[in-house]
Amino acid sequence: MNEQTVTIDAATCLYGIIGRPVRHSLSPVMHNAAFCRLGINGVYLAFDTDDTARACMSMRCLGIKGYSVTIPNKERIISELDEPDETVLRIGACNTVKNSAGRLFGTNTDWIGAVKAIEKKMDIAGKTAVILGAGGSARAVIYGLKKSGVDVTICNRTVEKAEKLAKEFNCKAAGIGHAEKIRADILINTTPVGMGSLSGTSPVSGQGVMNYGLVMDIVYSPPVTRLLQYAMNAGRAAINGLEMLLVQAMAQFEYWTGRPAPEETMKKALEYAISHETH
């Protein structure tokens, strides 16, 4: 890994991620590597909290420059912001906060991560996509795809929830089983199936994956989920959650600093952290 070090002094700018839990977050390794690579006097820490009101008060009082926001804080932090942007209001979730002279500005870069990760594999305008799940992550992905001209179908275990979200974003809805039969260019899993206690399971069968040209899983641990293994076995393009995580983090870095993010540095830091992860 990079042997450079950051000197922390009275002028060091503080950034961090707020959520619960955040102990295993990979965001600190990416952002700290980026600060180091560009010679920015900044440090990025993980703050385990679900108290967004106090986290934002601390941000103002202590002059913390930026937050990444993860579960369960993405929705509840919106009311604490001075200026949430259009993406936050449309998606209904905020994953990035910037402190400018005590005023808190919010945006959402999750959708950028999803769209740019897919665009590295194909031109998505005019394509069709099936989204598995109807939670906060699904909202960001759907927003990005619709913005890019993709025809979206939401498949969720609770059909009523899928229908409500589909009405909001002007797309189609169906039960989770429909993903086995429908044909589309893109399949994206935004559910937790494939991680944690559900590791080794897949929301779609190996046969069902054959109906799609590209398969993306926002789960990044493990890097290759059962769903992505099915896709690769079928000769389909596969994108894991690490790519989305990297791209959204790059967008955050640029939002905070106004400087281009060092992609290769952040990618190597991420890969190193994953390869040395202990369980």
Give the residue among 39, 15, 32, 47 at the shortest CA–CA distance from 269: 32
Q: Is the peptide bond before 203 cis (omega within 30 degrees of 0)?
A: no
**Ramachandran angles phi, psi of 156, nearest 5°:** -140, 150
Number of other CB atoms surrounding residue 112 within 10 Å: 20
Choose the catalytic residue: 74, 98, 116, 267: 74
CA distances from 239 to 77, 173, 211, 222 (A): 29, 23, 16, 13
Positive or negative: CA dihedral 264, 15, 71, 165: negative
DSSP helix/strand/coil, 19: strand
Range list of H helices, 67-194? 86-91, 110-119, 136-147, 159-169
CA 78 distance to own-chain centroid: 17
Closest CA to 117 of 229, 225, 267: 267
Please compute, for residue 172, the number of CA atoms within 13 A of its CA located in the half-sphere on the CB side.
Answer: 14
Is residue 228 classed as helix, strand or coil in its secondary structure? helix
Does residue 74 carry a catalytic annotation?
A: yes
- The Cβ of residue 204 has, within 10 Å, a number of other Cβ atoms equal to 25
* Torsion, CA 183, CA 126, CA 91, CA 99, rounded to 10: 130
* Residues known to be catalytic: 74
